[in-house]
Structure 1
Amino acid sequence: MYDKLKYGVSTWLWQSPFTTEWISLFPKIKAMGYDVVEIPVEDPELIDGTTVKKALSDNGLKPTVCGVFGPTKDLTSDDVILHENCFRYVEKSFELCALLEVDFLAGPMYSAVGKARMVSEEQRKKEWELAVTNLRKVCEMGKRFGQSIALEPLNRFESDLVNTADDVMRLVTDIDYKNAKVLLDGFHMTIEEKNIREAINTVGDSLIHVQVSENHRGIPGTGLTPWNDFKLGLEDINYQGAMVIESFTPEIKELAGAVCIWKHLAESQDEFASEGIKFLKKTFNS
């Protein structure tokens, strides 16, 4: 029996962007049996951290925080203005993490999401070195706030830089900071990895966060994900963090377009969340 997991769900399943008013989701999330709510920070200015912290406490929920890295926040760009914009955003996100008593900021912060091109080896090397250099600055900033970063590999359609467990471990090794860690997302893994259990073992104790949905972004348990391999991998490394369901609603057109969700993946988003946690608990707690 693998009983060390804490189960969470991203508010992206219902809404985008997260603003203070969406603390209204917390009672429902708690009632479904979740321990954790993931807060995606599209704009830190829209979030009153003090109010959110009280609502979390009132509902008996722990938070995780995921960063959002679009084209205006690109650490591999030739435009240093985009680097500085990203640093300012990350600093505000670290401030929110510290206020909410979260000890890491998660996400694919090495580059802009959707930057997927065929470029020369020379250009790839240049962008890799930019990512390493700038993420060292992020790690230094994180140390001031008592924060780590959890770097997330994305599938090939969303990134041309970091796609696999091997890729992200190479990046973490090159950054060479103790607070550079890893997030693995089962959706991306089903596209990019040869074996999910082996991929989890590749990152080992660098893994501090896990996100899941199905291979088609739907309810866990309704697709092709090898969930037993997932479970065995987490047992292998004695993972004790959170497993957060991350998917999206087609009702929020801008976000749905960005992640290519063109149809409803469940009868309702509430059904998605309630059925998803039932499946995860049955699978990972048995």
Structure 2
Amino acid sequence: MSLDVKLAASTWLWMSPFATENAPELFSTIKKLGYDAVELAIEDPKLIDAKKIKEYLSNYGLRATVCGAFGETRDLTNDDEGFRKVGLEYIEDCLEIASILEAGFFAGPMYSAVGKARLVSAEQKKREWERAVMGLQKASDMAQRRGLQLAVEPLNRFESDLINDVDDVLKLINDINHAAANVCLDMFHMNIEEPDPESAITKVGSKLTHMQVSENHRGTPGSGGANWGAYYRGLKKIGYRGVVSIESFTPENQELAAAVCIWKRFAASQDDFAKEGHDFLKKWINGDYK
């Protein structure tokens, strides 16, 4: 039996940052490749005219999901209150875009800055955990007022020292204790942190709002060592019916390549990456994943 999901590709696969002016050509490509949706990676909300984007989505028959980019100034756990304020303002800007686009949720590792991986004292970790909880309670209120959810994403240990696996994120969600606070899972991080992806997905259960997929090396789905069968079985067990989105990155943008450590191409072109990934995922969601 097949998974009842929609397939999406991230704008990060082609460019960084994404802006409104890129939408018509990129959406046309994504639609021609057979995708149902596009995952909009919002690095700078000022580059996004949500009403125009919504019009372009309608023109090409696509739906949108929205995820965020959390650099060092967007950090809900920082000792500097100014950084925490900037982080919340950014989340609210992205939620407003998601609301206009009727995306349903905003996803990402919004508890802290990406790349914040240190050995800190138990006291410091407790302070940062409490700041993350408090900040995301406020963000959850913002989301709820707009009829949206937060999809909080764990990152691997090399990118975060706070939330690395499903146990961490579920503890965070439990402490936030808000109906709008849910979970996004990313296969790339899970391939590092989860010994049993099927059980991890099952543990998250109905809290799973969004699923990002990637090979263990961030390459084209089906070209690496990821245990796609385990992910299929986990999603099938929990009756997941959301979007499954390819998240990878282009090495052509040097700033982004450095951030995610992608130095070479995984396919002849990014369009080829997206096409080959879509072809594999169509078979995978139909149970042909071996």
Q: Distance in 2 between matches of 1:3 and 1:111?
A: 32
Tell me the residue number matched to 1:16: 16
Tell me which moved more, 87-96 or 206-215: 87-96
1:238 aligned residue = 239
Inter-partner Cα distance in structure 2 for 1:81 and 1:12: 28
Which digits, 9 at most, give the CA deviation of each residue in 1:178-202, with x for residues without a partner? 1000000000000000100001011
Distance of 1:38 and 1:227 partners within structure 2: 21
Q: What is the one-letter code of the residue matched to 1:252?
A: N
RMSD over aligned Cα atoms: 0.8
Which residue pairs with 2:176 in the alignment? 175
Q: How far apart, in 1, do the equivalents of 2:2 and 2:121 lie? A: 45
In 2: Cα distance, 1:119 partner to 1:265 partner? 36
Deviations 1:81-113 (A, max 9, x none): 011111111111111111101111100000000
Secondary structure of 2:106's counterpart equals strand
2:153 is aligned to: 152
Which residue is equivalent to 2:7? 7
CA distance in 2, matches of 1:45, 1:146: 22
- Counterparts of 1:8 and 1:103, CA distance in 2: 15
Give CA-to-partner distance per residue, 1:98-146, whole Å, 9 cap, x none.
1101111100000000000011111111111110111101111112211
Alignment correspondent of 2:201: 200
| Aligned counterpart, 1:99 | 100
Report the equivalent of 2:191. Answer: 190
Separation (CA, whole Å) in 1 of partners of 2:184 and 2:12: 17
Following superposition, the deviation at residue 3 of structure 1 comes to 3.5
Letter in 1 for 2:55: K
Counterpart for residue 139 of structure 1: 140
Runs of at least 4 residues of structure 1 off by over 4 A?
none
Query: 1: CA distance between counterparts of 2:143 and 2:275?
Result: 34
User: Which residue number corresponds to residue 277 of structure 1?
Assistant: 278
* SS of equivalent to 1:160: coil
Please state how far the C-alpha of 1:38 moved relative to its aligned partner: 0.4
Q: Which residue of 2 aligns with 1:31?
A: 32
Distance in 2, Cα, partners of 1:3 & 1:152:
22
- Aligned residue runs from structure 1 range 43-58, under 5 A: 43-58=44-59
TM-score, normalised on structure 1?
A: 0.99
SS of residue paired to 2:209 = strand
8 Å CA contact 2:166, 2:200 repeated in 1? yes
Amino acid in the other structure paired with 1:267: A
The CA distance in 1 between the partners of 2:22 and 2:254, in whole Å, is 18
Give 1:257's aligned amino acid. Answer: A
User: Residue 3 of structure 2 contacts residue 236 of structure 2 at CA under 8 Å; is this kept in 1?
Assistant: no
- The amino acid of 2:271's aligned partner reads D
Q: d(CA) in 2 for partners of 1:3 and 1:242? A: 10
Secondary structure of 1:81's match? helix
Residues in 1 aligned to 2:18 and 2:40: alpha-carbon distance in whole angstroms: 7
For structure 2, list consecutive stretches of 5 or more residues without a partner in the other structure. Answer: none
SS in 2 for 1:52: helix
Alignment-mate amino acid for residue 18 of structure 1 = F
